Structure 1
Amino acid sequence: MAEAYDAIDVIRSKRDGEHLSDEKIDWVIDAYTRGVVAEEQMAALAMAIFLNGMERREIARWTSAMIASGERMDFAALSKPTTDKHSTGGVGDKITLPLAPLVASFGVAVPQLSGRGLGHTGGTLDKLESIPGWRADLSNAEMMSQLEDVGAVVCAAGSGLAPADKKLYALRDVTGTVEAIPLIASSIMSKKIAEGTAALVLDVKTGAGAFMREEADARELARTMVDLGTDAGVTTVALLTDMSTPLGRTVGNALEVRESVEVLAGGGPADIVELTTALAREMLAAAGKKDVDVEAALADGRAMDTWKEMIRAQGGDPDAPLPIAAHTQEIRAEADGVVTALDALQVGVAGWRLGAGRSRPGEAVQAGAGVELHRVVGETVHAGDVLATLHTDTPDRFERAVESIDGAWTIRADAAERQRSIVLDRIA
């Protein structure tokens, strides 16, 4: 059977700054998924999109074509509304862990299909897999049952959702086109829309430890994704949040689970609590539950009860001791003053070098490895104070981790103590 278009014609159209028609977009995504459009041809098209951009209609059509390449989930059979959250990823971003059970404790279903980490940003599944017995892989039937019974599920996304995106994502990684906003937005939103949730809250991060370092780029990405969700009939809102410094006081897998449990017990770092409750309010409002007291659900144990049910439902023991790394090393302050900056990227790379992250897909991670922060932005420090504790099972990793974290703290004698604001803006 003859193909409707020729890949070279589609590449030339975008290379020359033209808008791609709906028919061309539908064809090129389908043909790429079938293997008719070669990898080098899609690489050329991705670069043309990176250089010349796409208009809103093109991005919406590209997204829907990627959704159409695979299966779609449907939560209509559930007795409760669904709402979901997606974060663009950052250092110490364990927000999904306390957030999913917190929102579910109000009678809303939270299907969190998550991934594993690569490089300096940790994956939610890696964190949860540090809990003894917990498993990430669920069938669709198990997932639906858990959403109905418990309300929250965090699990691996099935390979059937947006398979075109999986191919294209790997290609963008090796062709210098990862940062193309139309391709980032359509990649994230094709999976989220295919997951079938009725409402979606996006946590779009900006700053040193974020995927989008510049605020203007993060804002454009947030606006593009909100438009895509809205056009697809999904109630979508985005929060623009600060990732110039790590979230909370831990970076790693078991370390971040421990901190998440502290939040669910009514404690935990102020920035984690602030972002968790802000996102929870947005998710609940999008699901039709407005003016709810999310702080009360953390204080009275409801969210913790849901967390324990969620972990048990996936084979984990929420009361089991978490893994602890065999070796630690301290980083100490050399001067007095107030911490005015703490570079998220440097801390993230240190955690990765200690064994908390991976360099390539499929590589094993250490459950107990990571960085524990004792002094963060806005806090007073004296020379000799411990700034951080490094954790690893392999002590020969310390040297390179210390190299990467050296100079991460900016300490000034003339600065005053202050609290940072996490949520920078709301985009709807």
Structure 2
Amino acid sequence: MSQPKAVVQASIIHQIIKVAHQESVTPPLIRKNLHADSVQVCKLIEFLDEQLEKNGLAHSHVEAFDIPDTLGEVLSDYLCIINLKLLNFTKPANVAFYNIFARELLASVPSEPDEDRSVLRQESLAQTRYRRITNHLTKALHYHVYEEPMTTGDHLPMIFYTLDGIEYLDIALLSLTDAITINEETGEIIDTNHIDASNLKIACRINITKLKDHKYKNSESTYQAENYIQWIQKGTSSKIPEYIQDFLPIRVRLDDTVATTKLMKSLINYLDKSSFDEKSKKEIQSEVLTLLGHKAKTKKSVNIVDEIDPIIVTKSTLSNLTIAVGDSFKTFRENNGYSATDENNSNVFAPAKKPLQNYEMFSLDFGEIGDDEILKISGSRSLLGEEVKLKESDNDEAIIEIKVSSENLLAVRKLFK
């Protein structure tokens, strides 16, 4: 990993305290001081960058800026400049806010009731504004974590920074007890040398520059927002993708039926182009279907990166195949329907049962046709009624018709010759 050239504006680690199925609500732990060690913070940005690169297959943008208890509302109210026009300034303010008095900008973000005056004296006005914004973001996420009984709380790093002139906000829900040495009293990171990716529950990266552009131009009829939110989720609960989508809130809600079909089509297309032999291809498809079927039955989510990709890697090892990064299923997905501009592209979703039936294998064994000759036809159930059709006649006879694609026609002709 290369050290990111990030300029940190503000960073802090709050905490959401909750165990699964907790009935009483424990208020979030709001830290009073920003983190002072930018070196450790940059290491955390680097860690999150690596995780988003590896697992971050979900992209979207804010659905609306006025939904209560959401990141979109908090940033719209307290960070996007357009809302500052509503304030009563002592002199005019332009949209670039160069003429806005800093105290008036600060006053637009409500403080905590017990805010420490000594902390205010140590901070710049911009740092105070960022810190107060993280307080409101924490309360918004806290609401959604408690809305779903199965979710759990944890440490909540939030980092505002710029990289190559672009503003970003990183948010993560991360277990730091075993991964990072942290001062539990102040929330400051002491050491990030042993960050364990398994302790990461969620991570979001918001391109603040593009979010502001969306907010400014949202009312224009011809404007189309780019995707500027990237996120990942960990866990097997089917509700895990839901609460993070509600917190953001994202424009594109994941359609589990579409996502299930999309994954299976992507897998089949990948295997068709891969170097696996036919037996291995069928075994991979069968194992994936079994996994997805179990997830659908138990109403749990599947993580493509953590659970599907390893199936392919294991099979390649057993088959003595070396798959380069550029030939991996992950790279194939990103180039074919799972990029930042695509929809229903999350690496985590709850498989739907019905579309899986289309990809279960069928096998027709006609027994002996001639002198000890046996005819068998097998394939995906999705082919039945489409490429493979049954045409019945009135005299109790029927013909199975198999459609042959143009690219396979030459090979089929050779067989019949």
TM range (shorter): under 0.3
Q: TM-score, normalised by structure 2?
A: 0.24
Question: What's the TM-score once normalised by structure 1's chain length?
Answer: 0.23
Structure ID, larger Rg: 2
